[in-house]
Amino acid sequence: MNNNLIESFGNIDIYLFDQLLKGRFDNSKRILDVGCGGGRNIVYFLKNDFDVFGIDTDATAIEAVKTMAHQLAPKAPPPPPENFVIAKAEDIPFADATFDLVICSAVLHFAKNRAHFEAMLHSAWRVLKPGGFFFARLASDIGIESLVKSKDNGRYLLPDGTTRYLVNHDALIHYVQELDGELYEPIKTTVVDNLRAMTTWCMRKR
Q: Can you tell me the distance from the alpha carbon of 168 to that of 178, in angstroms, rounded to the nearest whole number?
A: 15
Confirm if 203 and 182 have CB atoms less than 8 A apart: yes
Listed residue (111, 101, 122) closest to 42, CA to CA:
101
Domains of the chain: 3-205 (3.40.50.150)
Query: Residue 6 has what pLDDT?
Result: 86
Query: Residue 153 has what pLDDT?
Result: 97
**pLDDT tens per residue, range 40-58:** 999 999 999 999 999 999 9
CA distances from 94 to 21, 40, 101 (A): 28, 22, 13
Of 67-81, 129-143, 189-203, least confident by mean pLDDT is 67-81
Res. 1: pLDDT tops 60? no
Q: Can you tell me the distance from the alpha carbon of 140 to that of 156, in angstroms, rounded to the nearest whole number?
A: 10
What is the residue-averaged pLDDT of the chain? 96
**pLDDT tens per residue, range 78-135:** 789 899 999 999 999 999 999 999 999 999 999 999 999 999 999 999 999 999 999 9
Q: Can you tell me the distance from the alpha carbon of 49 to that of 124, in angstroms, rounded to the nearest whole number?
A: 22
Query: Residue 2 has what pLDDT?
Result: 65
